[in-house]
Amino acid sequence: MALTASSTVGDWLTHPAGGAALRALLGSSFEESQLNPVRGLPLQQLVALSQGQLPQAAVDALVLQVNDGVVPADDAASSAWREKITPGRFAGQTVIVTGAASGIGRATASRIAREGGRVIAVDITTSGLEALAADLSAALSPAAAGPGPATGPGSATGPGSATGSAAGPGSATGSGGAVITVTADITRDEDIAAIVAAAGPRIDGLANIAGVVDDFTPAHETSDKVWERVFAVNVDGVFKLTRAVLPAMLTAHRGAIVNIASEAALRGNAAGIAYTASKHAVVGITKNTAFMYGPEGIRVNAVAPGGVATGMRPTDQSAFGLGRTGPFLKLIPPIATAEHLAASITFLLSDDAVNLNGAILPSDGGWSIQ
């Protein structure tokens, strides 16, 4: 098996030449057990996760070293998971995705658009939305996806932006899919209204993915500022946008909502008190809305991710909190990619999940059974 940057860290470590080369690069002082959570990720993913400690040039040199100076084509036999697009799964549907500028939200928005859906991509970060629109404009172009209309991204500053801009939403369309970007803050009522306006009268799905983390602080160290910010985004934003899309779904007698809970929604040792409480609240929102609106053809479910390679990590973490949670976090299964989570989210949004309502789906590699 030829090793490439797309081969998993596990494949590299078990390969005679690859393992020796990777261990030599990391150095004798590096504790190999630190790689256990990322063994299932492509080696390429470590460039972003290492925050500069493993540069792209080092990965490129490693691939050349173990392949006698030649960069091989990706090996289909590699154990690395590959996203499998289902063409047309979201054809004719409009789906709102928050947190779409990066991480899980970006991967979810991208997949829905590439599967034929019209995505209202929402985030507070304009630059990330512009990058998403540009990437999807290329992916959805006739050259990439066959005959069909294609337009490049326009302004990525949509209605209801955090700066009060009145500019229209940017967009990328083609091959049945489309993305309309809306720069918005889901904690602001006027921005919620603007998101729904950008979607139009028909809203088939909502993925409440935008969220913030806490700093692992326990109750006696948690400030009002941290508590209120975490709840404003993780709970109030989810509730307000859910409330805003329900009238359209009730009119249509159909719809699907997927909220993002967390492993912290299932236990008490995965985060600080603010994040843990906020994600428990998301579970409550999910179950109640699933019960209330199930008879109206509206399904509401949640995905509970474990560790995900998104770069979303707290700063200035509490020593007290990490002292308690740290030993447990060292035992988690290998972390997932944003695309892994997008696969779970899009399944629940799609008609493939027709008989699922009120489910809290752990997408955590088995962490929840520990």
Q: Map 122-160 to HEC letters.
A: EECCHHHHHHHHHHHHHHCCHHHHCCCCCECCCCCCCCC
Residue 293 falls in the annotated catalytic set: no
Q: Which of 240, 275, 287, 293 is catalytic?
A: 275
* 295-322 b/e (C-beta count within 10 Å ≥ 16 → b): eeebbbbbbbbbbbbbeeebeebbeebb
Residues 6+ apart with CB under 8 A from 304: 261, 262, 263, 265, 266, 279, 360, 361, 362, 363, 364, 368
**Which residue from 75, 144, 134, 140 is spatially nearest to 114, judged by alpha carbons?**
140
Check if the beta carbon of residue 96 is closer than 8 Å to that of residue 241. yes
* C-alpha to C-alpha distance for 141 and 28, rounded to whole angstroms: 48
Beta bridge partners of 259: 208, 302
Residue 275 falls in the annotated catalytic set: yes
* C-alpha to C-alpha distance for 161 and 182, rounded to whole angstroms: 7
Check if the beta carbon of residue 11 is closer than 8 Å to that of residue 62. no
Mapped onto helix, strand or coil, the DSSP state of residue 266 is coil
In the block, tokens 């985060």 appear at: 271
Q: Which of 84, 240, 279, 287 is catalytic?
A: 279
Which residues are marked as active site? 275, 279
